[in-house]
Amino acid sequence: MSTAKRRAISFFTALVICFSTVLFTKLDVSAESTGFHVSGTSILDANGNSFVMRGINVPHAWFTQNTSQSLAAIAATGANTVRIVLSDGEQYTKNNYNDVSNVIEMCKQNNLVCILEVHDATGKDEESYLTNAVNYWIGLKDLLNANKDYVILNIANEWYATWSAFSWRSGYVTAIKNLRAAGIENMLMVDAAGWGQYVDSIRISGKTVFNADPDKNTVFSIHMYEEAGKNESTVKSNIDKCLNIGVPVVVGEFAWKHNGVDVDEATIMSYCTQKNVGYLGWSWKGNNSDLAYLDISNDWSGKSLTTWGNDLINGTYGIRNTSKLCSVYTGESSSSGSETPVGNYISLFEGTATASSWDQAVSVMTSKNDGGNFEGSIVTSDGYFYVEYTGKLPELILQSWSGGANWVKVQAYETGSANGHSYAKYSYSSCVSAFGSNDFSGKLDQVHVGATGSSVTVYNLRYCYN
């Protein structure tokens, strides 16, 4: 966020667990790999599974008494990550070892990956603020290393306000070398220059910063507000610029507007979904009165979401529909024998649902209907429906009460094994043929996965696309 305003902030931090969703690809890593680590433009967790962040920023440094309630509420949204505001004592009350340890444990209890950041360096160009943050982390080294499977270290929030790549680069090259020399083993995260919005700092100097890390385990973060996230073309260009240098990037902060200027949050969420890029909304609760529009929830318990919060959490590409828990919590290990959908996908259902003969295990409505959670427009010619199940091959059923075929069954074109289950794929062309139309946006109302002659258990329903 912005500067003097950020300083004056009192910040932020939804119940209802339904569908958590997905964006992960199984990848093989060596057995000795531990903690979060970089593989190309992907972030892998300690089990070697690709991890895509979906989460929310939490103002712990200013509202320590509300953090426990906030984390429980955020976990209930389906989020898989929180970014925790801390202080090294330079500007705010220092969060000490015991306090940070307690926060990490609360995150773990709620199955949340924990990104820790020092906020005192926000908007500062002086390297002394960055050095103070580094020294703070070094003082927590044993705690951080003991939790490297759960904790990512965001070195300093929005250090270096100036829109320039060069001093930003030299500062972070030194900081990263010092952190590694001190023995810190966690994945590191670096915010872009220019209050996190000068993306060209990553494009120009990001590779130099990355290569300064002897562990090659640093990722970059954009804060998408009125500059970096102002419209569709800017959002897409900025994400692509970072990925094109060959390392991971996340949107570490964004909102729906900032400083009176609109932010294209819809494109941020949809394009991050398309590119398998993580995002974290700013912020749960507690922003002061002139920035109250940034609050995601009206209360710490998440019982009343703001309009911004509802879009972030319940939108088509929001947290609830695109988040998958990190496998360090689910126990899922990487396996070279598993198959997963190729390319990107939107999840319509994740969980466990069983149906007896000729009943439906999963029924999902399109968003043009009340209670619907996906757009029919996702059914495009470069994709296919994908179902994981146990039992007899299920039926995929398309239903319409808006002018399309009332109730049609789609035949699978491929079956196999994945993740200890069976899977089936249903092609776009088969869907068009059965439905009698390619106007899925206008005419598709509901998708079902049903049992045939015997019971079936369904674990996911996805639409995969290239």
- What is the model's pLDDT at position 83? 98
- Whether residue 410 contacts residue 440, with contact meaning beta carbons closer than 8 Å, is answered with no
- What is the model's pLDDT at position 39? 84
Question: At the top level of CATH, which class does the domain 344-465 belong to?
Answer: mainly beta
- Tell me whether residue 185 is one of the annotated catalytic residues: no
Q: Which of 117, 253, 350, 395 is catalytic?
A: 253
Segments making up each domain of the chain, as ranges: 3-330, 344-465
Instruction: Kindly report, residue by residue over 38-62, the tens digit of the pLDDT.
Output: 988 889 999 888 899 999 999 999 9
- Whether residue 57 contacts residue 283, with contact meaning beta carbons closer than 8 Å, is answered with yes
Please report which confidence band the pLDDT of residue 34 belongs to, taking 50, 70 and 90 as the band edges: confident
- What is the model's pLDDT at position 3? 38
What's the CA gap between 409 and 329, in Å, rounded? Answer: 37
Q: Which of 117, 158, 388, 395 is catalytic?
A: 158
Instruction: Kindly report, residue by residue over 152-196, the tens digit of the pLDDT.
Output: 999 999 999 999 999 999 999 999 999 999 999 999 999 999 999
- Choosing among 3.40.50.2300, 3.20.20.80, 3.20.20.150, 3.40.50.300, the CATH entry for 3-330 is 3.20.20.80
**Mean pLDDT of the 124-132 span:** 98
Q: Is the pLDDT of residue 404 over 80?
A: yes
Same fold yes or no, 3-330 and 344-465:
no
Residue 299 has which token pair?
């209360």
Q: Is the pLDDT of residue 301 over 90?
A: yes
Of the given ranges (222-226, 282-286, 293-297, 427-431), which has the lowest mean pLDDT?
Answer: 427-431
Please report which confidence band the pLDDT of residue 246 belongs to, taking 50, 70 and 90 as the band edges: confident
In 36-160, at which residue ranges do the beta strands (DSSP E only) sit?
A: 37-39, 42-44, 54-58, 81-86, 113-118, 151-154
Residue of 268, 16, 7, 287 whose CA lies nearest to 158: 7
DSSP lists the bridge partners of residue 434 as none
CA 68 to chain centre: 21
Count of helices and strands (H, E) across the chain: 14, 21
- Tell me whether residue 226 is one of the annotated catalytic residues: no
Cα separations in angstroms, 101 against 86, 89, 95, 285, 422: 12, 17, 10, 22, 41
Where would I find the H helices in 279-391? Answer: 307-314, 319-322, 327-330
Of the given ranges (11-25, 115-129, 197-211), which has the lowest mean pLDDT?
Answer: 11-25
Please report which confidence band the pLDDT of residue 440 belongs to, taking 50, 70 and 90 as the band edges: very high
Residue of 25, 23, 69, 111 whose CA lies nearest to 318: 23
**Mean pLDDT of the 329-342 span:** 58
Q: Is the pLDDT of residue 373 over 80?
A: no
Count of other CB atoms within 10 angstroms of residue 226: 16
R_g of the chain, CA atoms, integer Å:
22
What's the CA gap between 45 and 38, in Å, rounded? Answer: 9
